[in-house]
Amino acid sequence: MTRVLIIMFSLISFFTMSAQTIQFENKQFEISNVKSSVADLKGEKVLKIERDLNKIPFDVNHLENTVDEPTFVKLSNENIENGIIEVKVLSQIQNPSPFEFAQGFIGLAFNINDKNTAFEAIYLRPKAGRSELQFHRNHSVQYYAYPDFKFEKLRKEEFKGQYETYADVGLDEWITFRLELKKEKIFLYINDQKFPSFIVNERKGKMKSGSIGLWVDIGTIGYFKDLKITKY
């Protein structure tokens, strides 16, 4: 009887651990506050990620507290300080969406610590990228540093708009998203551009190095493929 119980406990532990990780493109990812699966999209295998509202509830009346959270799959056994992270991303908006103003939030988290309590991220708002209003277009790209410098705080006048910008991106299309981490600065290149779309000159993160996460937020169905990492 004891032996049977040990075997059952081992099986339960195995499936619990398996449910917390996912394999894709010969890489293992730890799942953090998202639902993730390997899916078929237009005839190819991709990694599908959606925010798990059971893990972190969303409150439209308290955006600052319930968005820009650790909602990603994190690359296991990885640490990078300086180098290039490149991935192809495609986002769609959930239908129905839990957030009326969902923009297809999708991007990369980096310098993630072991407990996911500190990291930096740059993400896109693809719907804003094709808006007919320039004000919305100016918010197509966003940087933030968790937990102290989320988008709402960085949008205040004192930061002079330096943590957001425009990029030519749209929903339901593959976007090559490449970050260059270079000492104190970050450079974002979109779709194989020669020059960066966005530069972070003054980083707000607590970590000097850390892991990498494929990130989404509220109302988004995110797809990822072709993750490449080059360290300096």
Pairing outcome for strands 106-112 and 119-124: antiparallel
What is the C-alpha to C-alpha distance for residues 91 and 218, in angstroms, rounded to an integer?
Answer: 12
Question: Tens digit of pLDDT per residue, the chain (232 long)?
Answer: 444 433 343 433 333 344 599 999 999 999 999 999 999 999 999 999 999 999 999 999 999 899 999 999 999 999 999 999 999 999 999 999 999 999 999 999 999 999 999 999 999 999 999 999 999 999 999 999 999 999 999 999 889 899 999 999 999 999 999 999 998 999 999 998 999 999 999 999 999 999 999 999 999 999 999 999 999 9
**H/E element, 74:** strand 72-75
pLDDT, residue 8, reads 40
Alpha helices (H) in 59-199, listed in sequence order = 63-66, 126-129, 134-137, 151-154
- Which pTM does this prediction carry? 0.91
DSSP three-state, residue 152: helix
| Pairing mode, strands 27-32 and 72-75 | antiparallel
Structure tokens of 180? 């260059």
In the chain, the domains with their CATH numbers are 22-231 (2.60.120.560)
> Which one, of 37, 109, 128, 93, lies nearest residue 220 by Cα?
93
**Token duo for residue 6:** 């040990």
